[in-house]
Amino acid sequence: MKFRVLFLFILTLFIVSCKNKKKEKEDAYAGETKKWEGGLIYPEEKHFKSLKQITFGGDNAEAYWSFDDKQLIFQSNNKNWGVNCDQMFLMNADETFKDTIPPMISTGLGRTTCAYFLPDNKSFVYGSTHLGGKECPPAPLRREGKYVWPIYETYDIFVADLKGNITKQLTTEPGYDAEATVSPKGDKIVFTSMRTGDLELFTMNIDGSDVKQITNQLGYDGGAFFSPDGTKLIFRSSRPKTEAEIKEYQDLLKEGLVQPTEMELYICNADGSDLRQLTDLGNANWSPFFHPSGKKILFSSNFEAERGFPFNLYMIDLDGKNLERVTHGETFDAFPVFSNDGKKLIFSSNRNNGGGRDTNLFIAKWQD
């Protein structure tokens, strides 16, 4: 699941004991986050030519563009829209939802995650637990002050049309299958699965055939995206190294849980070769997405934070150099996704929520 680390994550990380702040990278923007009440864009956010708020309530995240950039699918748990946990909604790229409700295109049953358009712009893949029950699976309680993510074993990956009709089930293996995204070439899907007993990356054709394992090292590998030319994968990973870390990871995994407070970014070829660690920043580095050039990665991180927050967007070269801070919010910016033409960026943010817990979608006109 492309887990929704929203305002609750920030509050939790404030409570737990986080490690000391690492030395700020010399090529990142330094200094404390500044409070700004002059508009949606902070003065330092030079890559945003303009910024438009799309949703106005609830938790909204993981919005992905159609191949023609005319529509987006996103997940929301907005109770005013008649849902109790994440379901999938469809929008046109020029719409906003302040007093209206977008059409829901998931079943409304169970919990859903990661809806990604297929090349025909008329269908999409997504993860859903609905075969395991009609109700929302319960969210896990905090474990001894530690924040954990659930790995629901009832998640499988489905294909549906834009009216919400499921047309195919792509995964049938026991255990967790989710976090599916599609190559810009339109030929492959990458996803995370527990079928080997660990959380590894796999690829398959868009019809579900030719499943291949991409990663094979102990630890959670997830949230993967293809490069614009389809030749590379970027993903987040929490890979335990010490004996104590390995035991904790394996014990949590037996309960269907992972702890996401320590994650770094990894990059590899689309077949899993030439795997290497991209970041070594500490804390949680996640929700990566390729810059349209294919030469940089945009991602969310709290590596500069002493108490777990804020999360801001950063950009880094594929060789791990030229780290640049992109956003300057006070709480949470994450899930950055470029349009296929490279002109726009949609992301989730706590900005402009009146000090509450709502996480909304924003679309920026991007400038390098």
Question: Could you tell me if residue 188 is inside a domain?
Answer: yes
Question: Could you tell me if residue 2 is inside a domain?
Answer: no
Please choose, from the candidates 232, 202, 225, the residue with its C-alpha nearest in 3D space to the C-alpha of residue 214. Answer: 202
User: In this model, does residue 81 exceed pLDDT 90?
Assistant: yes
User: In this model, does residue 79 exceed pLDDT 60?
Assistant: yes
Residue-range definition of the domain harbouring residue 146: 7-366
pLDDT in tens, 227-245: 999 999 999 999 999 999 9
Which residues, in sequence order, are CB contacts of 204 under 8 Å at separation 6+? 170, 188, 189, 191, 210, 211, 212
Note the pLDDT of residue 39. 85
User: In this model, does residue 5 exceed pLDDT 60?
Assistant: no
The DSSP annotation for 33-79 comes to PPP--SSSS-TT-TTEEEEEE-B-SSBEEEEEE-TTSSEEEEEE--G
Which residues, in sequence order, are CB contacts of 29 under 8 Å at separation 6+? 44, 324, 325, 328
Question: Could you tell me if residue 1 is inside a domain?
Answer: no
Specify the length of the chain in residues. Answer: 368
Q: Give the confidence band of 21 by pLDDT, cuts at 50, 70, 90.
A: very low
End-to-end CA distance of the chain: 31
pLDDT in tens, 312-341: 999 999 999 999 999 999 899 999 999 999
Question: Could you tell me if residue 283 is inside a domain?
Answer: yes
Note the pLDDT of residue 146. 78
pLDDT in tens, 280-315: 999 999 999 999 999 999 999 999 988 778 999 999
Note the pLDDT of residue 38. 59
Note the pLDDT of residue 27. 36
User: In this model, does residue 265 exceed pLDDT 50?
Assistant: yes
pLDDT in tens, 42-72: 999 999 999 999 999 999 999 999 999 999 9
Q: Name the domain count of the chain.
A: 1
CATH of the domain at 127: 2.120.10.30
Sheet with 188-193: strands ordered across: 177-182, 188-193, 200-205, 212-213
Q: How many other CB atoms are there within 10 angstroms of residue 69's CB atom?
A: 16
Give the Cα separation of 268 and 278 in Å (integer). Answer: 10
Give the Cα separation of 112 and 34 in Å (integer). Answer: 35
Q: Which of 135-144, 208-217, 265-274, 329-338 has the lowest mean pLDDT?
A: 135-144
Note the pLDDT of residue 309. 83
Note the pLDDT of residue 307. 78
User: In this model, does residue 179 exceed pLDDT 80?
Assistant: yes
Comparing 2 with 125, which gets the higher pLDDT? Answer: 125
**Average pLDDT rounded to a whole number, residues 129-137:** 96
pLDDT in tens, 84-131: 999 999 999 999 999 999 999 999 999 999 999 999 999 999 999 999
Question: Could you tell me if residue 362 is inside a domain?
Answer: yes
pLDDT > 90 in the chain, percent: 83
Helices H, strands E: what count in the chain?
2, 25
Residue 317: beta bridge partners?
296
Question: Could you tell me if residue 63 is inside a domain?
Answer: yes
Give the Cα separation of 293 and 62 in Å (integer). Answer: 21
Collapsing DSSP to helix, strand or coil, 216 comes out as coil
Which residues, in sequence order, are CB contacts of 336 under 8 Å at separation 6+? 287, 289, 298, 299, 300, 313, 345, 346, 347
Note the pLDDT of residue 140. 82
CA dihedral of 213, 277, 345, 300, whole degrees rounded to 10:
110
Note the pLDDT of residue 9. 45
Give the Cα separation of 106 and 57 in Å (integer). Answer: 20
Average pLDDT score, the chain: 90
pLDDT in tens, 275-284: 999 999 999 9
The DSSP annotation for 308-343 comes to S--BEEEEEETTS---EE----SSBEEEEEE-TTSS
H or E segment and range at residue 188 = strand 188-193
Note the pLDDT of residue 350. 95
Comparing 26 with 260, which gets the higher pLDDT? Answer: 260
User: In this model, does residue 1 exceed pLDDT 60?
Assistant: no
